[in-house]
């Protein structure tokens, strides 16, 4: 069988190794060489460089089989990354390692009615806390990852969920962290990366669609991480199901988000969003649900599934992950999502040959998703300087 083409540049080769280690948590050399399509000799040369640069470590572990390797290659736990995660209630800020261990976290609350100016002040306060904490401990950051709900794929100018000026925030970062690479992303992309890199037994290793149901409803196309367009957000939450439906924050009526987001769920359950968030994953057992409400809940989940099926019409995918509050429900309730996917003309699982899986919600543990995104950014550039264009 003909081997696939190897990564073309030194950066891509290093990125393939680092992203594999990030997603696997560590690997012995023979399976690592096979996974990144390198000879063991070529792999050894690159691992030597990565170890010298303090990006990886190799520790002795019992051999996986008699006469097998005993050196487990993993990401170096001393690499420091900063994470900022904007949510509806606060801006989470923290410092952690490549494996997800947090060394410092803080939350700066948002005002009840945020504006561009007030959110800018919150970012300045959070960045000042971050700068002071790292300076006191003489910590040099390797990457900063920032997640913004609803951040546009093609432009950072508009943000429909929480008003903020990305250019102004970038300016603050330039003042306080001039030499540190910084990347912004849509929150759904960060949550997708978090699950791909941190969830044990993650269902898919190839290309798939990740759907997150939280403050909004959005998706991300997950693909080969060394490609420039590996992670593309998709706002599937604004498909309109009925112009007489509830008003959505986008200005339309009857969007799938207006039926299935956390604020919509809270309203259906007769409580505030803050009360629902306080309950966390316990709400499914703590709140009694009448048969009428459960029937309406399943109708809404069916619409969510229909939106996912329609998205598969645009770009077929063999796998779909659903994360967020629907994943907490009993299988009988979640079945409504699957039925909705199958009801979509051409987009159902049978036509797309797609498998659908649910993973637990990852909101509420911020800034873990932003930290996973920061680690992913560092791995994807092969641990090299952000402006490096070094070829093989």
The per-residue pLDDT for range 328-344, each reduced to its tens digit, is 999 999 999 999 998 88
pLDDT at 245: 86
CA geometry: angle at 330 spanning 325 and 333, to 5°? 80
Whether residue 389 has pLDDT greater than 50: no
pLDDT at 353: 66
Quick one: what percent of the chain has pLDDT higher than 70? 90
- Taking residues 371-388, what's their average pLDDT? 86
Under the banding of pLDDT at 50, 70 and 90, the label for residue 154 is very low
Highest averaged pLDDT of the listed ranges 25-29, 142-146, 242-246: 142-146
Nearest to 81, CA basis, from 368, 380, 288, 390: 368
Give the model confidence (pLDDT) of 88-116 as tens digits. 889 999 999 998 999 999 999 999 889 99
Q: Decide which of 52 and 315 is more confident.
A: 52
- Taking residues 296-322, what's their average pLDDT? 90
> What mean pLDDT value characterizes the chain?
87
Whether residue 347 has pLDDT greater than 90: no
Range in 181-185, 220-224, 372-376 the model is least confident about: 220-224
Under the banding of pLDDT at 50, 70 and 90, the label for residue 8 is low
Quick one: what percent of the chain has pLDDT higher than 90? 52
């Amino acid at each position: 069988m003909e081997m696939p083409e190897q990564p073309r540049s030194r950066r891509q080769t290093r990125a393939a190794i680092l992203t594999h280690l990030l997603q696997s948590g560590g690997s012995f050399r023979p399976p690592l060489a096979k996974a990144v399509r390198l000879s063991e000799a070529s792999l050894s040369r690159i691992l030597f460089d990565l170890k010298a640069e303090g990006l990886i470590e190799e520790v002795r572990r019992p051999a996986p089989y008699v006469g097998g390797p005993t050196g487990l290659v993993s990401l170096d736990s001393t690499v420091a990354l900063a994470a900022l995660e904007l949510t509806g209630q606060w801006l989470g800020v923290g410092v952690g390692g490549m494996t997800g261990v947090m060394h410092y976290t803080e939350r700066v609350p948002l005002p009840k009615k945020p504006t561009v100016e007030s959110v800018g002040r919150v970012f300045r306060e959070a960045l000042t806390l971050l700068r002071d904490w790292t300076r006191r401990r003489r910590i040099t950051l390797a990457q900063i990852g920032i997640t913004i709900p609803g951040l546009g794929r093609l432009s950072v100018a508009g943000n429909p969920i929480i008003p903020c000026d990305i250019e102004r925030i970038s300016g603050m970062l330039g003042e306080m962290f001039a030499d540190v690479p910084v990347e912004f992303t849509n929150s759904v992309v960060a949550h997708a990366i978090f699950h791909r890199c941190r969830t044990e037994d993650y269902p898919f290793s190839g290309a798939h669609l990740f759907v997150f149901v939280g403050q909004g409803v959005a998706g991300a196309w997950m693909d080969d991480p060394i490609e420039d367009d590996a992670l593309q957000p998709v706002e599937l939450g604004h498909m309109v199901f009925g112009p007489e439906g509830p008003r959505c924050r986008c200005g339309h009526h009857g969007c799938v988000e207006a039926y299935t987001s956390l604020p919509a769920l809270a309203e259906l359950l007769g409580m505030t969003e803050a009360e629902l968030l306080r309950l966390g994953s316990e709400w499914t057992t703590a709140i009694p649900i009448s048969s009428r409400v459960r029937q309406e809940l399943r109708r809404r989940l069916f619409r969510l599934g229909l939106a996912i099926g329609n998205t598969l019409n645009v770009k077929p995918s063999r796998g779909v992950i659903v994360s967020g509050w629907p994943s907490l429900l009993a299988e009988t309730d979640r079945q409504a999502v699957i039925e909705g996917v199958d009801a979509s003309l051409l987009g159902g699982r049978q036509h797309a040959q797609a498998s659908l899986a649910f993973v637990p919600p990852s909101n509420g543990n911020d800034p873990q998703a932003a930290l996973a995104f920061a680690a992913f950014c560092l791995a994807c550039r092969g641990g090299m300087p952000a402006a490096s264009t070094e070829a093989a």
